[in-house]
A and B are shown apart, each in its own frame.
Chain A
Amino acid sequence: MFKKSFALIGITIISMLLIAGCMQKQETETEDGNPIITTVRTLDDGTVFKDGEDVNNNVVTQWAEDELGIKFNTLWTRPNDEQYNQQLRLAMSANEPLPDVFQVTDAQMISDLIESGRVMSIDDAIEEHASPRLKELFEQFPEAFYQATVDGVRYGIPRLSGGNGSDTVMYVRQDWLDEFNLEAPKTIEELEEVMEIFVHEDPDGNGADDTIGITLSAGDVGFGRTNVGDTSFIFGSYGNFMPGLWSEAEDGSIQYGSIQPNMKDALAKLNEWFEKGYLSKEIAIEPEDQAQQSFIAGKSGIIIAPPWAFDYPIGDLFSNNPDAVVKPYALPEGIDGEAGRKGERLMTGSFLFSTEFEHMDKYFEYLDAIYGYTFGESDYFENGLFEGYDYVMQDGDPVYDAAGIEEITGEQKVDPGRYFLPTNVPAIPYQMYGILEEFHETERAPESAYEASLAGREPEYVEAAALVNQQNDIRVENLFTGPPTETMIKSWENLERMELEIFANIVYGNESIDAFDDFVERWKSTGGEQVTTEVNEWYNSVQ
């Protein structure tokens, strides 16, 4: 009977493999000879489709097919970056064919893919196929290419970010300020005076001692690494380095922020605030989406957050407390006007291209077409992206705001920009807040559909965006975008853990502030120095 069972196993395996054999087939052209571009992407539940539409069949894919003759085929989607990267790694391990075009955010994976020889160099393709305005854009932000550059050869098209889109401002409860006749704080000292009152004078008037001064968050990822509840301005008030970021030192080299002297002053300050009850007791424990609850619940007077936070989470405060008034202000400065904030990176990953992909011309045609909307000069998007989605026409004029659209069509406003390959309306660094600053400061009228759609935003949001853009000179950006270096792979877990531990423990008062010096020594001697050398080598190699 053993023979029998082995025969059975054999038959099962063979038949399964046969089924498998029939499945692998990939078309490169449609029946009418249009190229098919395969891709994979992240798709979160913030991307809403109308009934009957999905990632492979929607107004954008239809448009690309009709107008540009490109058929997109999304092979799979994953809900966030972590799972997307994992799936990509698995697909690579199983030797599955790469999609034609796909975005990768993980620097190690970009480096692996380049090393594997399965993605192609794009230097020639840019030269040959990119439109002049795209070329100009690329030349404007050469650093954005560093992530996918090896030996001077570029392998990836950066997915450009808004540049300063997630840089932060200070949102303050104006009604609380007014209640105590206070001015909005401009310096760290003034901020402390305001917080002292917010904590002890019962600003929410419920008779209980239950308010904190400022909503900050360092949970989950550590100090200086969050958007909502960003702590970076405190570090910026004492010097030019930010925790967790590699930035340029005076000698032109790049150095790791978390070991610089200004950390020590800022941590001492944070510890003082913690002891005085200005901060949440869970500052190092709660992730940002939980930390923000204090502000939404009306238990905190100040929140440091990007301009977009005015819609969410701050918008929820108004639902809970209709009398609340929140106004944006510039980040407070330290002594002698010293100021700094964490700056968003120029790009959120790079598009890579399979060596088997043959339609780079089509890719650039597509990229130029969708960028046309952002540039404000488009053959396709005169009034907006797609009528009935992000705008509707009423009496010959486009309507952009969500409430208006819902009133006219009875349907929810849907953002088709999310269906684009970059998973969003393509961005040009610093452009959006630049436009919003102009709207705020001058009477300039919108000149394109893109600008018109921005013009309808809430005034506080526009003001916050203007403030961010005006303070662009204080932003500190992470200059290291390459793959983890050799020593990083060996020691970074240890170095980063040491850092997270010492920062949290100093703020909580478990360690004296002098322990910081000891940490810096240990950091340098257990691999940090070597990592710094390697990071600088990388930096010099890509420039």
Chain B
Amino acid sequence: MQYKTKGYKIFTVFNYTFLSIFALLCMLPLIHIFAVSLSGSAAASGNLVTLWPVDFTLDAYEKTIGNSNFLRSFGLSVVRVVLGTAISMGVLLCAAYALAKDDHEFKGRKIYMWFFVFTMLFNGGLVPTYILVTNLGLTDTIWALVLPTAINAFNLILLVNFFRTSVPKALEESAFLDGAGHFTIFLKIYLPIAVPAIATVTLFTMVFHWNQWFDGMIYMTNEANYPLQTFLQSIVVKKDLSNIADPETLRNMSQRTVEAAQIFITALPMLIVYPFLQKYFVKGIVLGAEKE
């Protein structure tokens, strides 16, 4: 499908240029942070680093990797992402299959749907959620991080709509007439066909769990249970320097380079995951089984 018209050629040149410039703009801050993370701490705190390290050193990375809390938190975050995504996707996919049926095929669908939509709009807020989670005894367990957030109505709605737009009704019905049950249709038809959708929502869920820091902060009483972003947040939060009389303490607190290194290291895993999932929605799946 190549188009050799003159207009399209001009467009292609423009397209490549435009996307390259946009991509460059998106790179700059990260390059800056990367450069800061590789710079001397004094140069960093004087904001003398732009896109190239000043007084090159790997100190910040040594400190970061060497911090036992960092690695433990990193591990916890990985567990959280895997467990949280697995639970969330399992629950969402099951629900989305049922809700992707038409109203006349599945009585009660509407009620279920609005039941979930409602959770997107109203929430009890911080205090009651906290009371619930603590009373359930989830404090200081991974469940406090993965269970309350398992149902995300937005992702559910996305999945439902992806299912409805990408699964050919004819295919489903013919399978149905051949005697396949709901579970078979779900596993053999919906899941394989909706791979791009599943990849997308999986990515959203993973990124959500990876980035979330606030719940870690309120539900984990023990610092050893902080997931990575919570740990990172506890470092980059605003600190009150005026209580500190001791010069060494001041120095420990004001390491911009360490902050930068940690930001870079935390962004990295999601950058690795993305291209891996990308192939599922760049190309799409050719619907071989489809009949007109």
Contact = CB atoms under 8 A, between A and B. Distances in A.
Check if A and B associate.
yes
Contacts of B244: 46, 308, 424
Contact of A75 (B127, B135, B221): B221
A457 B46 CA distance: 23
A312 B222 CA distance: 30
A125 B235 CA distance: 38
A154 B208 CA distance: 47
A539 interface: no
B246 interface: yes
B230 to A, nearest CB: 9
Contact of B48 (A16, A76, A315, A320): A320
Contact of B252 (A43, A46, A417): A46
Main SS of chain B's interface residues?
Answer: helix
A77 B224 CA distance: 11
B248 A413 contact: yes
A287 B237 CA distance: 13
B130 to A, nearest CB: 5
Nearest to B243: A348
Nearest to A458: B247
Contact of A320 (B43, B135, B218): B43
A308 B217 contact: no
B252 A48 contact: yes
A317 B46 contact: yes
Nearest to B259: A45
A297 B252 contact: no
A227 interface: yes
B245 A162 contact: yes
Interface stretch (A82-90, A139-147, A474-482): A82-90
A78 B217 contact: yes
Contacts of A48: 249, 252
Interface string A286-325: 0101101100111000000010100111011111100000
Nearest to B254: A312
Given A80-B239, A90-B127, A93-B130, A308 B137 contact: no
Interface string B98-141: 00000000000000000000000000001100110011111100
B45 A313 contact: yes
B255 to A, nearest CB: 9
A19 B245 contact: no
B190 to A, nearest CB: 22
B246 A93 contact: no
A97 interface: no
A158 to B, nearest CB: 13
B238 interface: yes
Contacts of B48: 297, 320
Contacts of A75: 221
B45 A19 contact: no
Contacts of B127: 90, 93-94
Contact of B245 (A79, A90, A289, A432): A432
Given A19-B137, A293-B46, 20 more contacts: A43-B223, A46-B249, A76-B222, A80-B238, A82-B237, A90-B130, A94-B131, A165-B242, A227-B241, A287-B238, A296-B45, A308-B247, A316-B46, A319-B40, A319-B41, A320-B48, A412-B248, A413-B248, A415-B249, A427-B245
7 contacts: A16-B138, A46-B250, A96-B134, A287-B238, A296-B46, A315-B42, A413-B248
Interface of A: 16-17, 19-23, 43-48, 54-55, 75-83, 86-87, 90, 93-94, 96, 161-162, 165-166, 227-228, 287, 289-290, 292-293, 296-298, 306, 308, 311-313, 315-320, 344, 348, 402, 412-415, 417-418, 423-425, 427, 432, 457, 461
